[in-house]
Chain A
Amino acid sequence: MEIIDELKKIVGDNVLSTQEDFIPYVKDASFFTGTTPIAVVLPGNVEEVSKVLKFCNDNNIQVTIRGGGTSLTGSSILSSEGIILSMSRLDKILEINLEDRYVVAEPGVRLDFLNSELAKYKFFYPPDPASSLAATVGGSISTNAGGLRAVMYGATKEWVMGLEVVIPDGSILQFGGKVLKRSSGYDLTALMIGAEGTLGVITKAILKIAPLPEKTGRIMIYYKSIEQAGKAIAELKKSGITPITAEFLDRISMDAITHTKGIKFLDGAEYLLIIDITSTEESIDKKIHLAEDILKKTDLLDIKITIDPVEMDAMYQARKGLYSSQLGEREIPGEMVVIGDIVVPAHNLPNTLREAKKKVEEYGLKVALFGHIGDGNVHASIYANLKDEEMMKRVNSFMMDFGRIALINEGSVSAEHGIGIEKLSLFEEELKYKNTLKNMDIMKGIKKLFDPNNILNRGKIFK
């Protein structure tokens, strides 16, 4: 049996089978290179997805599902022989319902496009991973993507009401629905969030939406010590003010932006907090000044406030442009910026950052620390030459230690990037540390129910 011919019977010409066509599909945004696929299949509707999965299940062909290909942990590349199932052609917004505040979207819809359409009605879908330009509805659900606004709105799991899912035997299932309340058995919708395509293929999503904030103000505060920065955000939250975003940058991150974008930051400051606060047109000034009064009680170096859109945009560039600035600091061709992603309860941030900084010095690596301080999510951007084996050993070892710091501080080894290939050992480490390795058995049991032949995204999440 010729696999490609059989797949063509299902999706026509939307099967890619040339050496040239395979090249982009062995890469995603991680530093891994996947196995070259047997074929890349681009279904155009749920029936085609169902038939492709059934065919692969019957013939024990591994399937890796791909959305925007923005995974930082290697979730969307093959780890052994199989096919890539690209969901790109399912790219329609099917329904926008403002009355019940939901949108129905296909998995290939990109998040920024979704939000540009919702903005026409003054609504938005809050999860906003840094990759939102390219990241898709299906992919972001599968990794439970977070982003800057998670401090106020939570991660993706808070926003998924229902899903249409195809499982390997070809069954088309409906999980959840268009209602906010549901008390009918296990929450199978939740099970799919963060499953990284190991349980089924998402073919439709019902997502909650929210009204766009009326007015936003921005506060930038410089600190010498990370303890004070951590304290600032804790005090703010204790007072009842929840920022929409609360980001921090370390000095390396600030310098990277200065070198590449020309934006200057306060000399002598080690940390910068960028805090956005939202309110109504009438009360934004009052709320911002209330926040200012609270923040001024911390041991800060300088504070700046604005609600001016032009000034705010300049500050926004400081954060949004950070990754690009960090890339601009690469010194040799082919050097990558490998991003670590841990999360701890916000009150443990000062300790976490202090230990992370110590570890960076121990390893002698060039690492920038930054992240979403409001929800305790810390990223470490590590400059890594993939061709330097000795260096990559140190990078991997640092990543393990970085994850352990999260565990010691009551957190998790993965905040918003998933497990993929990259964090297989770290995930096991987390369960061991928490003395709950049994979780892995339960997960494997669930996997077996959905995917008894283990065809879906083999080699991801579990070793």
Chain B
Amino acid sequence: MNSTKDLFEETEKCISCGFCEAVCPTLPSMNYRSIYGARGRVLLAREVVKNINESGKVKLKINDPFYTCLDCYACFYVCPAGVNAGKVSEMVKDLVTEKKYVKKQEKNIAKMIKESIMKYQNPLGIKEKLSSWSDGMEFNNNSETLFYTGGMYQLMAYSKYLSNLEKKINPEIIENVADAIAKNIGALKFTSLMYDKNLKDRMDNILKSIVELLKYSGIEFDYLGDDEPYSGAFLFELGYIDEFVEYGKKLMDIFKKRNISKIITIDPHTYEVLKSTYPKYIKDFQFDVHHYLEFININNFIKSNEKLTFHEPCHFVTHEKYDKPLKFVSKIGDVVLPDRHGTNVFCCGGPDELLYPKLSESISQKRFEQLKTTGAEKIVTACPICFVNLYKDETVYDLAELLIKNKKSL
């Protein structure tokens, strides 16, 4: 649980220069309505603190401006005063879900996802549906190294289907349905039938490619199959800090019972939450967490003549400062980065996909156009959320797909 004192200190540093809103991806997609940009969020949060200090309750309607924040942290890197509007949004979402000062502003879709994670260890209650990609594959059940997908790649076929459906329905109806499901979370299991078949096949193949790359490098590991729980990253991102901590402890117990000491993650969200976020909140959450590329020898790949552009995932580049994916992309092709890259990255819009599908679509379209402007033959991603949001034509690839194509034969 964050304190209002933390929120006060973060927002009081703001000098309202507006640098943050110049790089905020949500602002132009919300027609420049200022509270949907980084500066607006910080100034609104300052009023939230004032409300709490003056009357002990927040009278302002604040949920959408903060839930739409993508947490990309691009704002933080241009702020002369060192304010992180992404963190401000995280803190306010925490206040919303805590319900002490802010009443009745929790988003029902967020609540539904939370309930599902807490009950089924999966955001859509379909944990057991997510291991079929590994049918017929062999893992080392005695290994203390775990290949941990967190279900992220697998979930994309379902979440994309749902967000496409949401775009056609009035958001108020969606909130009402989500509320009803949250109260009877078993009903969410209907989503197991709702997925994009082609996307599922593509994601399954990416997972197989990642395993093949690791095995090619001689790495042995276990995989939890049907028992694999979700990482809990969504709980943190949606502001459910108490539940996040509770869930993290359960996750820790699962890993410990399986004698896991080393964890290989494959996406930025899972990588960050296991490597950095849980240890901040749970003292004993201490595992040797890696991204799969750390185990792969970069010299095992050949360079093609292809012109590639790379969409760096925010959680790698601004949260974790992890740059291995870019090095691998540079190894296999001629890289031309988009204008917005590095810590000035422009998010794919993915984090808003389930709660604000139209906004997410608008942001991803802008990013796709930026990537296309580079003139590259292929757009490369290293995150399933980025992939799905930018997958608007056949030039978009996950890095693992290209690595498999460009690996030297043994």
Of the listed stretches A24-32, A228-236, A286-294, A423-431, name the one at the interface; the rest are far from the partner chain.
Answer: A24-32
Report the stretch among B28-36, B326-334, B386-394 that lies at the interface.
B28-36
From B17, B28, B43, B44, contact of A70 by CB (8 A): B17
Residue A131 interfacial (CB < 8 Å): yes
Which of A21, A89, A134 has a CB less than 8 Å from the CB of B22? A134
Within 8 A of B (CB), among A1-59: 13-14, 16, 18-21, 23-25, 27-29, 40, 42
A70-B18, A134-B19, A324-B81 known; A333 vs B13 contact (CB < 8 Å): yes
B61 contacts chain A at the CB level, 8 A cutoff: yes
Q: Which of B22, B28, B43, B60 counts the most chain A CB atoms within 10 A?
A: B22
How large, as a class, is the contact surface on chain B?
A: 20 to 34
**Residue A336, interface by CB 8 Å:** yes
Pick the residue among B22, B31, B80 that contacts A327 (CB under 8 A).
B80
* Interface members, chain A 82-108 (any B CB < 8 Å): 86, 88-89, 91, 108
Contact of A20 among B15, B21, B62 (CB under 8 A): B62
**Distance, CA A70 to CA B78, complexed state (A):** 14
Q: Does A450 contact B (CB under 8 A)?
A: no
CB interface residues, B 283-325, toward A, < 8 Å: none
Using a CB-CB cutoff of 8 Å, which residues 291-338 of chain A contact chain B? 323-324, 327-328, 330, 333-334, 336-337
* A20:B61 contact, CB within 8 angstroms: yes
Contact A23 B43, CB 8 Å, known A42-B31, A134-B22, A324-B81:
yes
Contact B40 A23 (CB under 8 A): yes
Q: Do B43 and A27 have beta carbons less than 8 Å apart?
A: yes
Known A-B contacts A16-B33, A20-B61; the reply to A134 vs B21 at CB < 8 A is yes
Collect the chain A residues with CB atoms within 8 Å of residue B33's CB. 16, 21, 42
Which chain B residue lies CB-closest to A29?
B17
Contact A29 B82 (CB under 8 A): no
Please determine whether B81 and A24 come into contact, CB atoms closer than 8 angstroms. no
Checking B32, B39, B82 against A86 with a beta-carbon cut-off of 8 angstroms, the contacting residue is B32
| Contact code string B245-278 (vs A, CB < 8 Å = 1, else 0) | 0000000000000000000000000000000000
Q: Look across to chain B and name the residue whose beta carbon is closest to the beta carbon of A21.
A: B35
Determine the chain A residues whose CB is within 8 A of the CB of B339 once the complex forms: 116
Q: Which residues of A contact B212 (CB under 8 A)?
A: none
- Residue contact A110 to B82, C-beta cutoff 8 Å: no
Q: Which of B32, B65, B79 contacts A88 (CB 8 A)?
A: B32
Indicate which residue in B15, B31, B39, B61 contacts A24 across the interface (CB closer than 8 Å). B39
Q: Does A112 lie at the interface of the complex (its beta carbon under 8 Å from any beta carbon of B)?
A: yes
Contact check, B32 vs A20: say whether CB atoms are below 8 A apart.
no
Within 8 Å by CB of B8, from A14, A108, A333, lies A333
A133 interface hit (Cβ, 8 Å): yes
A69 to B39 alpha-carbon distance, docked (Å)? 10
Out of B17, B23, B40, B65, which one reaches A131, CB within 8 Å? B17
- Give B60-86 as 1s and 0s: 1 = Cβ < 8 Å from A's Cβ atoms: 111001000000000000111110000
B47 within 8 A of A: yes
**Nearest residue, chain A, Cβ from B339:** A116
> CB-CB < 8 A to B78: which residues of A?
133
A20 to B35, Cβ gap below 8 A?
A: yes
A334 & B12 in contact (Cβ 8 Å cutoff): yes
- With contacts A333-B8, A333-B9 known, is A134 near B35, CB below 8 A? no
Query: Who on chain B is nearest to A84 by CB?
Result: B34
Question: Which residues of chain B are near A91, meaning CB under 8 Å?
Answer: 28, 32
**Nearest 9 A-B pairs (CB), nearest first?**
A88-B32, A324-B80, A24-B34, A134-B18, A333-B12, A24-B40, A134-B22, A27-B16, A29-B17
Question: What are 14 A-B contacts defined by CB distance under 8 Å?
Answer: A14-B31, A20-B44, A24-B16, A24-B43, A24-B44, A27-B43, A29-B15, A42-B32, A68-B22, A131-B18, A131-B19, A324-B80, A324-B82, A333-B13
Interface residues of B (CB under 8 A from A): 8-9, 12-13, 15-19, 21-23, 28, 31-35, 37, 39-40, 43-44, 47, 60-62, 65, 78-82, 339
Q: A24-B39, A68-B22 are in contact. List 9 more A-B contacts (CB 8 A).
A: A23-B47, A24-B37, A28-B16, A29-B16, A70-B17, A91-B28, A131-B18, A327-B82, A337-B15
